[in-house]
Structures are given as structure tokens and as C-alpha cells.
Amino acid sequence: MGVKRVNRKDFLNLIETIFFFDFLKGLSVTLRNLLRKPITTEYPSEKLTPPKRFRGAHGHFVWDGSEPNSLKAIEGYMSYEKGKSRCVACYMCQTACPMPTLFRIKAVQEPDGTKRVVRFEMNLLNCLFCGLCVDACPVGCLTMTDLYELAGYSRREAVLKIDRLENHGVDFKKRRDKEPDRIWIDDHHREKLWGKIEWTG
Amino acid sequence: MGEFLVSLIVALIKIAVVLGVALGLGAYLTWFERKLAGHIQARLGPTVVGPFGLLQPLADGLKLMTKESIVPRGADMPVYYLAIMMAVAPALLLFSVIPFGPEFEIFGYSIKPIVADVNIAILIVFAMGSLAVYGTIFSGWASNSKYAFIGSLRKASVIIAYEVVLGFAVLGVILLAGTMSTVGIVEAQLEKGIWFIFYQPIAFVLYLFCMLAESGRVPFDIQEAEAELVTGYSVEYGGMKFGALPLAEWYLNVVALSAIAVVLFFGGWSGPQILGPFSPYFWFLVKTFGLVFFVIWLHWTLPRFQARDVTEVAWKIMLPLALLNIIATAVAVYITGG
């Protein structure tokens, strides 16, 4: 890799000094910027939509009939309800998590022998939004949504309980399920920076 | 007795108008500067208070006035309060010698739109420019803070250097016009039919630099120097006391010195008659505002000189240039007979 040499003089010549060449150059740059359109997003009234792979607040996908057939196999062992979380309380997310105290998960055995998740809580104050828990989930339940306004008035509000996780999952699926999974908001923006990608086939 | 009363009333009206215009302009220049700075940096500037953020100066004023006033321990109280007056008063007094238009008649009285038409107006400008440094020095001294004191000492060294250059730069125009009265200088330009900037381009550039240095604008804002001295001499002031110092220095001084630059170099109120009797005022305001715009534009373009370099440039480069300019002008005036 060659070194790119920038050809720039250290001193101005006499004519350039007299006419303040460097000042004029700087002024032309700021004037061009002055006439450019501002790039501000006026935040509370306008909000950016993050790309689908954005790692925001967590959510649980629910048991709604859209899950793959492989998951149907465990239906007999779990006491699932329609429209409730499809979590199996396997503790894989807690195991993958770099922060040991982030999850509180509890499951009980029902009289008929099935397993029921009674508690799934995440303390987002400890969360660093790495997404390892999502990768670890074996039933495709835990996900990360595009919600990024997570500020609250108390520490209690930062703890996601199972009903909020379910709501996030349902909401996220409803809004963005159809979109392709990507880290750019659209192909136009990606191509501006990285150019067009040539796929085979 | 009747004539005295009329002239008194006329003078009071003129003072009220000039004061109102100057202070209102000063307040709205803060809005203008923030808008301009925002758009130069691809931002929007104030947008929330009122349409286009136009009520922002009022909101700022309310905020500053309702703020708690904290006076540092060990401050020299009388001087601490005097410093504000010493900063604002000279900046306002600069407006007293600015002619906004030609003489006109109303109700049988001829009125000059200038508060004080004195024949030493340019000397008053120099005097007020030098007096303004007392505000800075006093505020730095009375605050009992080393940052403030460094700021005020820097300002003092800058003012000493640039007052000299300013005096010599303006001397060329005075030689050409043959008078020190601001009205006289404008009339000389009208008579010659040419603006003095074409005779004195070097003097204009020197004047511009002195203007930037005296009003503490970039690239000579070493006395404020946000990055190294927080904000220099005004760092220990709070509330409206803090608001008054930049108002006087950054806005009133810039407007007044721009108006005087217009008088000296751009033919004052001269310009084509496009608005009937109001066109002189229109042209004067347009030229002044153009210069103010240029100063603010420069502020958001250039970086800051080192404290050492600012005075070095003044003494080693600008002063010899100004002296050469005067000698050349004097010889030319002597040969052509004025």
C-alpha cells in the first residue's frame, strides 16, 4: 500500500499573502456550507427509523402460529398459551450474557407435567446491548427491536417484565416483519457509501 | 428659550431612537449570529421560540434576568459593578457620532440625523475605543480570578497595539477629507464622487483588522478564547451582568465600528435614490449590515491567532504598513492639492 503524498505549500507567495488567499479560501468553504441544506433532525418532532437489525430494547416473539414446524415438536412439553411468549426457560440467554445479574428467569412444572415460564425479567440498566442473548436463543423467541427511547423516571422502569417484552415483540413483528434483514435503513444509503454489491445467482 | 427647548427635545428624541435601534439591533444580532453559525455548520440554529426562533433574544433576556447572581468571594464589589458600565457606556457612546443620513427639514427646523455633530468625531471614536478597555481590565481585576485576569491583560495588550494602528490607518482618510467630522468625511466623499476605499484600500484592511481586534472577534479573540480561558474576563459574571459584556463587545462595538467604517470608507449614506427620502438611511443600514455580516462570517471561518502573534502582527507588520500608507497619502495630497 503506497503512501499518498499531499502536495501543499507551507507558505503563500507574495501575491497570495497580499490578497489574503488563505482567508478567502476559508471564507468560500464556509459560504458553500452556508448555502447547503442543514442536516439536522429536529429530534422530538422528527425521529429517525433505525435499520431492522438495530439493537434496541429486547422483545419476545409470541406463540401465534407463525413459528417453524421444528418448534411444534416441543409444544407438547410446554404449557404455551396463544399470544404469549414462546420462551422455554432454557437459560441460554443468561449463560451467554456477559453480565451475570441481568436476567431473572423462573419456570415451574404444571400438574400435567408440562413446563410453564412464570418469570422472565431483564434489567436493562445492566445491559450493554451486545445481542449475544439473541444469538443464543434456541427457539427464536428473544429478539432486539428498533425501540431506542428507553429513558424512564425511575430505575424500576428500566426492568423489562415479560408482558412488556411480549408487547415489544408483537409490535416489532407487526411493523417490520416484511422488511429484509439488514443494518442499513435502505439499499440507497448503503450503496452511497459502499457501492453496489454484485451477488451471484 | 424656545429654541433651546426645541433643540433639547430634538436631541432627546435622537438619543432615544439611536439607543433603541442600537440595543434592539444588538439583541437581534445574537439571534442572527446563532442562525448564521448554525447554517455554516449545517445546523439550523434557534427554531423553537417563535417563528424561525425570532423570539429567542427575548427568551434569552428573560433567562439572564431571572438567573441567580453569584459574586465571587474576594471580588472588589464597586469595581465589579462599575466594569459593566465601563464596558457598555463607551460602546453606546460610539453611536453618538455616527451620521445616519443627510440633513433634512421638518416643521421648519433643520435636523441632522446624528446625535452629536462635532468636528472631532473621529477622536471621540478613538477615545471610546480606548475607554472600552477599562471595562475589560476592571472586570478581570475585580473578579479575583486568574482566568479573568489573564483575559483582561491580553485584551489590554491587544488594545494598546491596535489603537495605534487604528489611529494611523484612519489618518489617511482624514488627510484626504481634510476634516475629522464624520458628516464632513461623508460629504467629502459625496463631493469627490468616489468612496475612500478606492484611495485607501490598505487603510481599510488595517481598519478591518483593528475592528476585529477591538471587538474581540476571531481571529483576534485571544481575550475570550473559550478553549483556554473559558470566556476570559467575563467568566465570573452571572445573569444579565454576564449578558451585558458580550452584548457590548461582540455586538454594539461591531455595529458601531462597522458604521464608522462605512462612514470612513464606503461613502456613508451615498447610493442611488431608490426609496425617495429614505434611500440614504437604507443605503447606510445596508452597508453597515454587510460589514457586520462579514465580521460574523469571518468569526465562524477562521481559527484563533496565538496571543503572542496578535500583538506581533500589529507592531511589526501593520504599524509600518500604516505609516507607509500615511506618507504616501500625504505626498499625494500635497502634490495634487487635496
Sheet order of strands, A159-160 included: A103-109, A115-123, A159-160
Q: Best mutation site among B35, B41, B48, B209 for testing chain A: the one with the most A CBs within 10 Å?
A: B41
Nearest to B302 among A26, A31, A40 (CB): A26
Cell of B9: 427635545
Q: What pLDDT score was predicted for residue B176?
A: 86
Nearest to A40 among B40, B44, B297 (CB): B44
- How many Å apart are CA A67 and CA A140, to the nearest integer? 9
- How many Å apart are CA B305 and CA B117, to the nearest integer? 38
Q: What pLDDT score was predicted for residue B25?
A: 85
ipTM exceeds 0.90: no
* Pairwise CB contact (< 8 Å): A30 & B44: no
* Pairwise CB contact (< 8 Å): A42 & B43: no
Q: Give the residues across from A60 on adjacent strands.
A: A142
Contacts of B300 in chain A (CB under 8 A): 30
| A6 or A61, higher pLDDT | A61
Beta carbons of B214 and B166 less than 8 angstroms apart = yes
- What are the boundaries of each domain within chain B? 74-336
* pLDDT surpassing 70 at residue A131: yes
Contacts of A30 in chain B (CB under 8 A): 40, 297, 300-301
Q: What pLDDT score was predicted for residue B338?
A: 57
Q: What pLDDT score was predicted for residue B1?
A: 63
Q: Give the residues across from A121 on adjacent strands.
A: A104
User: Taking Cα atoms as reference points, which of B175, B187, B170 lies closest to residue B336?
Assistant: B175
What is each CA distance from B175 to A19, B171, B328, in whole angstroms? Answer: 25, 6, 11
Q: What pLDDT score was predicted for residue A153?
A: 93
* Pairwise CB contact (< 8 Å): B39 & A38: yes
pLDDT in tens, B177-233: 888 888 888 888 888 888 888 888 888 999 998 888 888 887 888 777 777 777 778
Chain B contact present for A29, CB below 8 A:
yes
Give me the helices (H) in B70-145, please: 77-93, 121-142
* Pairwise CB contact (< 8 Å): B301 & A26: yes
Q: Which residues of B36-64 are buried (b: 16+ CB within 10 A; e: fewer)?
A: bbbbbbeebbbbeeeeebeebbeebeeeb
Q: Which residue of B has its CA nearest to A34?
A: B40
Q: What pLDDT score was predicted for residue A95?
A: 92
Average pLDDT over residues A125-131: 91
* pLDDT surpassing 80 at residue A8: no
* pLDDT surpassing 90 at residue A16: no
Give the per-residue SS3 of B228-243.
Answer: HHCCHHHCCCCCHHHH
Query: Does an H or E element contain A121, and which?
Result: strand A115-123
Chain B contact present for A30, CB below 8 A:
yes
Q: What pLDDT score was predicted for residue B160?
A: 85
Query: Locate cell 427568551: which residue?
Result: B59
- How many Å apart are CA B8 and CA A193, to the nearest integer? 70
* Pairwise CB contact (< 8 Å): B41 & A33: yes
pLDDT band at A1 (very low <50, low <70, confident <90, very high): low
Task: Please identify every stretch of chain B with a pLDDT value under 70, giving residue numbers as ranges.
Answer: 1, 338
The C-alpha of A171 sits at a distance from chain B's nearest C-alpha, in angstroms, of 32
Q: Which residues of B126-139 are buried (b: 16+ CB within 10 A; e: fewer)?
A: eebbbbbbbbbbbb
Cell of B29: 444580532
User: Taking Cα atoms as reference points, which of A87, A155, A74, A157 lies closest to residue A118?
Assistant: A87
Q: What pLDDT score was predicted for residue A67?
A: 80
User: Taking Cα atoms as reference points, which of B152, B148, B151 lies closest to residue B237?
Assistant: B148
Strands A103-109 and A159-160, by their bridges, are: unpaired
| A79 or A128, higher pLDDT | A128
Q: What percent of chain A has pLDDT over 90?
A: 28
Cell of B117: 455633530
Q: Which residues of B197-221 are buried (b: 16+ CB within 10 A; e: fewer)?
A: bebbebbbbbbbbbbbbbbbbbbbb
The C-alpha of B203 sits at a distance from chain A's nearest C-alpha, in angstroms, of 13
pLDDT in tens, A98-119: 998 899 999 999 898 889 899 9
The torsion defined by the Cα of B146, B148, B150 and B153, in degrees rounded to 10, comes to -130
pLDDT in tens, A150-195: 888 999 889 999 999 999 999 999 998 888 887 777 778 778 878 8
Chain B contact present for A39, CB below 8 A:
yes
- How many Å apart are CA B300 and CA B37, to the nearest integer? 6
Q: What pLDDT score was predicted for residue A103?
A: 92
Q: Best mutation site among B217, B301, B313, B317 for testing chain A: the one with the most A CBs within 10 Å?
A: B301
Contacts of A31 in chain B (CB under 8 A): 297
* Pairwise CB contact (< 8 Å): A31 & B297: yes
Contacts of B295 in chain A (CB under 8 A): none
